[in-house]
Amino acid sequence: MCADCYDYPAHVLWHAHAGQLWDRFTRGVRRHLATSAGIPRARFHDHARLSFAKIAEYQRRAAVHVHAVVRLDGPGGPHDHPPAWGTADNLTEAVRTAARLVSVRAPYSLAVGERALRWGSQLDVRTVTETDGGTSDDAVAAYIAKYVTKGARDAGSGVDHPIRHRADIDAVSATKHARTLMYTCWRLGALPEYAPLRLRAWAHTLGYRGHILTKSRAYSTTYAALRAGRADHLGHSAPVDALTERHWRYLDSGHTPGAALIAAGIADDVAANRRALADGIGDALGPR
């Protein structure tokens, strides 16, 4: 990689707008499906529901690469069969079209100019089925888990804590390329036109503001249900007749009257021991 030729500002700005780009992509898929089916775009949810699970993985050049499972169901969700026009071929064509057409424009800057941000040309679409010889739900889960763990352990993704000062970037255990991206975040973050992007706050992730794994609400179970199931399994769930107090207020700080007396007695004992120790040392040394 040629460090002098590489477009670091574009890399950082693409990361900062990746969430918007994905949102426009999903809307573009719905729009294309509705158009091909001959239904109004505003009534798409009455006929079908698009859901997804998305994994963001940092590649060797520290650029985010997306793996996604996109599914088309009926209007009732995962347990509702898709409409007759909701075939794998139509969904594939919608994904390809949306990925090719959607774009986001970064704010204009005298230092950087105006950038049009798009998905790259490397697009691989595969059909996931549950027929004989197809892919099961377990295999899809394993596919997602593979890239989640791969992205989490990739050193090219920056560091796991925010950077408070520019000088801290020098101490980061990362490649020179990743540190240059952090410096670029810090420099662009000082420009008023990029203030809404909060690039300095996200310099440790090279400008990327999303999570490793995101999913639509209708894709599968919710995280709240998973946390509740985990708590129930560990025995942390509250009994049925338990009362939960949700409103707390500050009352006081410091010792109670009884604890204050105990603390004062301990302090006196410590002071007496120190005096006795000092006197013993003085007697042992004798007169000077």
Average pLDDT, the chain: 84
- Domain layout of the chain by residue ranges: 8-233, 255-288
Q: What is the model's pLDDT at position 149?
A: 67
- Determine the Cα–Cα distance for residues 45 and 5; give it in Å rounded to an integer: 46
Looking at residue 155, its pLDDT comes to 45
Contact present, 85 and 174 (Cβ < 8 Å): no
- Whether 240 shows a pLDDT value over 80: the answer reads no
Average pLDDT of the segment spanning 249-273: 88
What tokens does 82 get?
């898709």
Q: Report the share of the chain in percent with pLDDT over 90.
A: 38
Q: Quick one: pLDDT at residue 132?
A: 47
How many CA atoms, within 13 angstroms, populate the side-chain half-sphere of residue 262?
6
Computed on alpha carbons and rounded to an integer, the radius of gyration of the chain in Å comes to 29
Q: For residues 38 and 23, what is the distance between their CA atoms, to the nearest angstrom?
A: 23
Is residue 265's pLDDT more than 70?
A: yes
Pair type for strands 116-117 and 104-105: antiparallel
Tens of pLDDT, residue by residue over 53-75, are 888 888 888 898 898 889 898 98
pLDDT tens track for 67-117 = 888 989 898 888 888 899 989 999 999 999 999 999 999 999 988 888 999
The residue among 62, 55, 56 whose CA lies nearest residue 155 is: 62
Backbone angles phi, psi at 172, to 5 degrees: -70, 135
For residue 70, list its beta bridge partners: 52
pLDDT value of residue 287: 59
